[in-house]
Amino acid sequence: DTAVSQTPKYLVTQMGNDKSIKCEQNLGHDTMYWYKQDSKKFLKIMFSYNNKELIINETVPNRFSPKSPDKAHLNLHINSLELGDSAVYFCASSQDGTGGNTIYFGEGSWLTVV
């Protein structure tokens, strides 16, 4: 019974393409996130949504556009993919956006841009 699920798990695509990663959580949480983990294993916040509203948007190129149709879903669309976008993208959720809430991560989506 997966709590935070994201698809696809693996994605290989060419430069310039547009791709989407979908995420769903069945924990009843109000807040969802996208994190990026690069080749040096640093996990960095990209976006945070609370009840479908954008809360945090770290310095991310506007080629990345998150969409939250409802509080259980947060999808990530990436336009004009570049080689540097190759990374693992983790979706996550927490009960709400207040400090101290445990963040639960999805399995990750391995994106390779060739």
Partner 1 sequence: GQNIDQPTEMTATEGAIVQINCTYQTSGFNGLFWYQQHAGEAPTFLSYNVLDGLEEKGRFSSFLSRSKGYSYLLLKELQMKDSASYLCAVGGNAGNMLTFGGGTRLMVKP
Tokens representing 56? 């945090």
Among 41, 59, 62, 83, binds partner 1 (CB under 8 A): 41
Among 20, 27, 42, 63, binds partner 1 (CB under 8 A): 42
Q: What is the CA radius of gyration of the chain?
A: 13
Q: Which of 24, 17, 37, 8 is nearest to 78 (CA)?
A: 17
Interface with partner 1, residue 60, by CB under 8 A: no
Q: Which of 51, 99, 90 is nearest to 72 (CA)?
A: 51
Among 50, 85, 89, 111, binds partner 1 (CB under 8 A): 50
Which one of the spans 12-20, 60-68, 71-79, 92-100 is the region binding partner 1 (CB under 8 A)? 92-100
Closest CB to partner 1 among residues 17, 26: 26
Residue with tokens 């556009």: 65
